[in-house]
Amino acid sequence: MATGQLFSKTTQALFYNYKQLPIQRMLDFDFLCRRETPSIAGIINPGSEGFQKLFFGQEEIAIPVHLGIEAACAAHPTADVFINFASFRSAAASSMAALKQPTIRVVVIIAEGVPESDTKQLVAYAKANNKVVIGPATVGGIQAGAFKIGDTAGTIDNIIHCKLYRPGSVGFVSKSGGMSSELYNTIARVTDGIYEGIAIGGDVFPGSTLSDHVLRFNNIPQVKMVVVLGELGGRDEYSLVEALQQGKINKPVVAWVSGTCARLFKSEVQFGHAGAKSGGEMESAQAKNQALRDAGAVVPTSYEAFEGAIKETFEKLVEAGKITPVKEVVPPQIPEDLNTAIKSGKVRAPTHIITTICDERGEEPCYAGVPIFSLVEQGLGVGDVISLLWFKRSLPRYCSRFIEICIMLCADHGPCVSGAHNTIVTSRAGKDVVSCLVSGLLTIGPRFGGAIDDAARYFKDAYDRGLTPYEFVEGMKKKGIRVAGIGHRYQNLK
């Protein structure tokens, strides 16, 4: 486990499995913190590559999208955080692949339901290689004024209300992501705010523990006090008790373990998290709170008194001269999306399209003044209708017939078999045979339906390696590469 600060104002991340909203929220937070560079370096989306357009303040930026983890790490060697939004089925495999990349230092696993055996393997590998796993079943974490993971702390309004756009003096760690947002608010009310906050996740075997992060906070000079929110179930809090007893933590710790109400029920109670289930007296909230209190932590008598305990501890540090409260700053205004502003009635936008070719007033629709019934009555076709729509007048029959031929050619071949289409069009224009042939051949490329060169290259490689057809197709799928030589979209293996 790392011994100091995980993130900074220059930290960049790779985001696995494209999710527009959490990525945009990260970029909005970047703008709020006046970062010079976006915190998202690249997106990994197996099966597709290119760019995704998002907003960095008022500026629209293009973030590269990569097919795989290795390619993304090679393209962005300074990105050392891997934010994994994969489902529980593939989260472990993709997280392990990321941990094995030399550039990745922190892996955040959002998914719930990751098998415990898989998590144990990830944790063991991370510890052996001095890397950090946050999660599974986490919203991540935040370093105020510097870096935010995914949906941590919720909306921009909530982030501003909790003063997370600039660093405070409090290190905070919790098992719960939802309660983290609540505590960010509480801490902002009675102190100068959060410096760093982490939600370790609610699983039985989290990638990193409460005590791991408290020990980190103890080594960060800007963190003057620590707030911990635990819960019944498991024994993670006892490692924090042990660290306090051994004198490894020399900063004030204000802690509360939730779930004291469990004793009011006659039968065993399972709370929302997988790990929030008491397996005996030692795992009860009451026993943990007492152990923390005995070890020297500030532990209130109830959750309602938690805020007061945090406030009192902070004020004592200020009086002792150990904390100089951070001066407040005014964050920049996040530009509002046009659709949101229109819905709220803040702006009005002119229409972009005005039609002068179609008129639906009267008893029947008209195209450039010609009633639709007369088109049917005269036996006119699609080409005649298009001539009215595009040219606002009836063209000679040979013109409308030419339009229909063009439409039939496009409909039959489609854009990915454009060689044949271009050859035919060139021929209809009256060009010589060589010109017609060349116009088709010059169109052939990787997206052309035949893709002869690519098909030969891939098939020969598979043959040389002795792959079965099934192994070849599965290997191409995992790499996110479409099998060349199959030109139509419906001809693929689902």
Catalytically annotated residues: 273
Give alpha helix (H) positions in 129-197. Answer: 156-161, 177-190
Q: What is the end-to-end Cα distance of the chain in Å, rounded?
A: 41
CA-CA distance, 233 to 235, in Å (whole number)? 7
The candidate with the shortest Cα–Cα distance to 43, out of 86, 92, 99, 3, is 86
DSSP H/E element including 382: helix 382-391
Task: Single out the residue of 223, 289, 228 nearest to residue 254, CA to CA.
Answer: 228
Residue type, 352: H
Phi then psi for 360, rounded to 5 degrees?
Answer: -100, 10
Cα–Cα–Cα angle for 425, 428, 429, rounded to 5 degrees: 90
Distances (CA, A) of 12 to 5, 81, 160, 207: 14, 7, 22, 21
Helix axes 397-413, 382-391, angle to 10 degrees: 110
DSSP track, 326-354: PPP-PPPPPPPPHHHHHHTTS-----S--
**Structure token digits, residue 447:** 């997206």
116-128 and 91-99 helices, crossing angle to 10°: 10
Q: CB 352: neighbour CB atoms within 10 A?
A: 5
The helix-helix angle for 397-413 and 418-428 (nearest 10°) equals 160
